[in-house]
Amino acid sequence: MIPVTLTTHSRLSSLDFDDIPFGKVFSDHMFYAEYNNGTWQKMEIKPLQKLEIHPSNLAWHYGQSIFEGMKATKHIDGSPMLMRPEMHAQRMNASAERMCMPTFPEEMFVEAVSQLVSIESAWIPPAKGSALYLRPIMFAADEFIGVRPSEKYIYIIMALPVGPYYSTPLRLKAEETYIRAADGGTGEAKTAGNYAGSLYPWQKAKDEGYDQIMWLDAKEKKYIQEAGTMNIFCVINDVVITPKTSGSILKGITRDSILKILSAEGYQVEEREITIDDLIAASNDGSLTEIFGSGTAAVVIHVKEVGYQDTTLTLDPDTFKIAPFVKNYIDSLRDGSMEDKFGWTTKLTQSTAV
C-alpha cells in the first residue's frame, strides 16, 4: 500500500457535476514520487499541491517530460473502474525509454492509479461518457544548466473530473508544410515537445477555418498519420483502415481497443499505409463512408471535411455507422453495461477514507 495523507479541506462539494469545464477542475489528491540515486522513492498519495521548483529545472530547458492520459469511470453499480491501465503503464515506460528517463514499475503504476481512484471515487461523474481523467506526468528535476539526461525525476498522477465529451464533427486540414513526427524522431513517445511543435501549425489551420490537422508523413507528405492528437480511421468499401504504426505515430490505446472490438464483431480491419490521394479517390468514387479520430478523451470524433491543396473532401457524419457503434461500445464497457469479453476492465473498491 502506498502511504496516504488525506486532505482536511475537500473541494468536492463545490463541484457541479452537470457543468465541469474540461481540464480545469482537479480532485483533492495526487500521487507523488521522486527518482533519485537510481531508485523511486517518497511515494505518497497526498493533497494536490503546488511544487517548489528551481528555475534551472532541466525539464523546462531541454524537454525531458512525458505524460499519459487515461480514464477512471463509474460502473452502473457505483463502483469505480479502470480500463486497460497496464497499457498506459507500458506506454509511459516506452516514452520514458525514448526520452532517456527511468521507467516506473508497471505494477506500481497500476497500484498508484487504483489507490488514487479508490480515494477519489466520489469525484467520478456518474453520467455515461463522463470520467475521472487521470494525468500521469514524469519530468526531469535536476537543477542544472546543460544538455544531459537528468539524474532526478518527479512523477505525479493527478485526477480531473470531466463530463461527456461532445464534439461537433471536425474539419481537418491535411498539412503539407509542417509535420508532427519523422521516422527516427519522438513521435511515438508521449512527450511534451511533440505537442509544443504542433501548436503553430494548428493555430494556422484554425486561422484558415479548420478544427484540427490531418498529419501527413514527414518524408513524402502523402501518407496520413494522425488527426490532431488522435489516431485516425477511415472506412472504405466497408473495410476499416487505420495507418499502421511504424515509429512516428502514437500507439493509441483507444486505437488498439477499436481494432480489437471491430475484429471481434466481424468487421474487416486493416492497419496499413494509406495516402491522402487514396482518400480523395475513395471519396470521389463513393467508397469512402467514414473518417473518425480516436483517443482516450473523446473516444471517437467524426470528421466531416478534409481540406488538401485545392480539394475539399466532404462526409456526412449523420450516415456514419461504425464510429458511433464503437464509441457506444467503449462507453458501455466503461460503465459496465456491456459484457467485457476482453477482460479489459477492473472494478475497484470505493475507499471510504474521505
Ligand X SMILES: Cc1ncc(COP(=O)(O)O)c(C=O)c1O
What does the binding site for ligand X look like in residue numbers (CB under 6 A)? Answer: 69, 226, 229-231, 250, 252-255, 294-296
Q: 45 has which bridge partners?
A: 4, 31
CA distance linking residue 315 with residue 328, whole number of Å: 21
Nearer to ligand X by C-beta: 81 or 253? 253
Q: How far is the CB of 118 from ligand X (least distance, A)?
A: 23
Nearer to ligand X by C-beta: 228 or 317? 228
Place of cell 511515494: 43
Q: How far is the CB of 296 from ligand X (least distance, A)?
A: 3
CA distance linking residue 89 with residue 31, whole number of Å: 14
Q: How far is the CB of 274 from ligand X (least distance, A)?
A: 16
Beta carbons of 145 and 168 less than 8 angstroms apart: no
Nearer to ligand X by C-beta: 83 or 348? 83
Q: 46 has which bridge partners?
A: 30
Nearer to ligand X by C-beta: 69 or 164? 69
Per-residue cell: 227: 488527426
Nearer to ligand X by C-beta: 136 or 163? 136
Nearer to ligand X by C-beta: 125 or 228? 228
CA distance linking residue 257 with residue 253, whole number of Å: 6
CA distance linking residue 48 with residue 6, whole number of Å: 10
219 three-state secondary structure: coil
Q: How far is the CB of 92 from ligand X (least distance, A)?
A: 11
Q: How far is the CB of 242 from ligand X (least distance, A)?
A: 11
DSSP state at residue 74 = E
Place of cell 463502483: 79
Q: How far is the CB of 78 from ligand X (least distance, A)?
A: 26
CA distance linking residue 77 with residue 94, whole number of Å: 35
Count of C-beta atoms within a 10 Å radius of residue 19: 8
Q: How far is the CB of 181 from ligand X (least distance, A)?
A: 8
122 three-state secondary structure: helix
Place of cell 477511415: 234
Q: How far is the CB of 231 from ligand X (least distance, A)?
A: 5
Place of cell 507528405: 221
Count of C-beta atoms within a 10 Å radius of residue 273: 14
Nearer to ligand X by C-beta: 169 or 252? 252
Nearer to ligand X by C-beta: 252 or 307? 252
